[in-house]
Amino acid sequence: MGSSVTIGLLGATDEQARAFGKKGTQSDVTMYNAVRDGHAATIVVPSQFPEKLPSLLYAIAMADRLMLLANALDRTLAEILATVDLFGPPVTIALGPSVGEEEFRRLVRGTRLEGELTRSLDLPQLRSEADGWAATVVPGPVRVRLDHVFPVKGVGTVALGMVTQGRLSAHDKLQLYPSDRAVEVRSIQVHDADVASAECGERVGVALKDIEVEAVERGQVLAPGGSLRASAELGGASLRRSKYYRGKLAPGATVQLLVGLQLVPAKLGELTETSVRLTTDRPVAYAPGAPLLVADLSATQGPRVALSAVLG
């Protein structure tokens, strides 16, 4: 396989999403896959948003690049913009025929999207542009972030995920973070083809040895032992608050914390203008410097994302 990329497709209708690839895995996010001329694209759509905010958070967290289709200036678009402002990779913005450039600019004023270029919503052109995108290659010990798991008759436990760092090889012996379980990679598939190894940026199906399906869940990370931290006490600096969040957060509040694809309940501890400390209900796997996002799912007005920070 040549280059690979995972794209979070936000604001798209079902018909628009189908223009980017063939429908694959479906859950709270829906995958569309396209392999053309040695380039593999996995398009992730938050199919249960806006009813369920985690669907949007997962789609953004899984992506190397974002593509935002602004079909209408409504509450759904506003929450997408508020979330993308706090975290997420580079974004390409396409405006539908009913969305004016000036109106959109007013909506994103003061956010990280303020200076982003926009273009008309032309699906063939956008798909062609995406064919030139590739994930950033991150060297170092292998990391595979898991997002789905299921049993396969005659094979056993198979997990789907993304190689976010290094190279994954068959027969690697790794730890399933944040647990202390040791597992062996029995075999690897990339887009339904058996391979001996997979590079950073590739989406993989991994058959795992010595572990049952019930012990694997979204957000866990395959990595060498000792290469990640796991803790229920987390601290973040370089704090950014959402300019759109209307709730009030104070120490002791119950929130949802997103680190990688781990979305867990947490209690706010110390909260200052520049830093935050949280206690989660179970250990979270992380590397220092990774982003965290805090969401308030009980918010009844406005966006539900509250703040972001960088893990220490």
pLDDT of 49 higher than 90 = yes
The partner residues of 64 in beta bridges, in order of sequence, read: none
Nearest residue to 146 (alpha-carbon basis) of 196, 183, 91, 193: 183
d(CA 182, CA 300): 42
Q: What gap in Å lies between CA 66 and CA 6, rounded to an integer? A: 9
Element (H, E) at 55: helix 53-61
Q: With 80 as the cut, is the pLDDT of residue 191 above it? A: yes
> 250 pLDDT band (50/70/90 cuts)?
very high
| Chain position carrying tokens 């781990």 | 262
Residue 44: closest CA among 188, 145, 154? 145
Name the band, by pLDDT with cuts 50, 70 and 90, for residue 166.
very high
Residue 259: its pLDDT value, please?
98
CA-to-CA separations, 205 to 143, 157, 306, in angstroms, rounded = 14, 10, 34
Please provide residue 54's backbone torsions phi and psi, each rounded to the nearest 5 degrees: -55, -30
Q: Please give the mean pLDDT across all residues of the chain.
A: 96
Is a pLDDT exceeding 80 seen at residue 298?
Answer: yes
Q: Answer yes or no: are the C-beta atoms of 246 and 299 closer than 8 Å.
A: yes
Which amino acid is located at 278 in the chain? L
Interval 289-303 mean pLDDT: 94
Element (H, E) at 54: helix 53-61
* pLDDT at residue 1, as a whole number: 56
Judge contact between 291 and 261, C-beta under 8 A: no
Query: Quick check: 279 and 264 in contact, CB under 8 A?
Result: no
Question: Which backbone phi and psi does 92 adopt, to 5 degrees?
Answer: -105, 130
Domains and CATH numbers, the chain: 4-130 (3.40.50.300), 143-223 (2.40.30.10), 229-311 (2.40.30.10)
Helix 75-86 × helix 101-108 angle, to 10°: 50
Cα distance between residue 233 and residue 280, in whole Å: 7
Q: How confident is the model at residue 37 (pLDDT cuts 50, 70, 90)?
A: confident
pLDDT computed for residue 252 by the predictor: 95
Region label for 154, one of left (φ > 0), alpha (ψ between -120 and 50) or beta (otherwise):
left
Instruction: Write the pLDDT tens digit of every residue in 277-287.
Output: 999 999 999 99
Burial of 72 (0-12, 13-18, 19+ CB in 10 A): exposed
Helix (H) or strand (E) holding 207: strand 203-209
Strand partners, 234: 278
Among 131, 208, 132, which residue's Cα sits nearest to residue 176?
208
Whether pLDDT at 88 is above 90: no
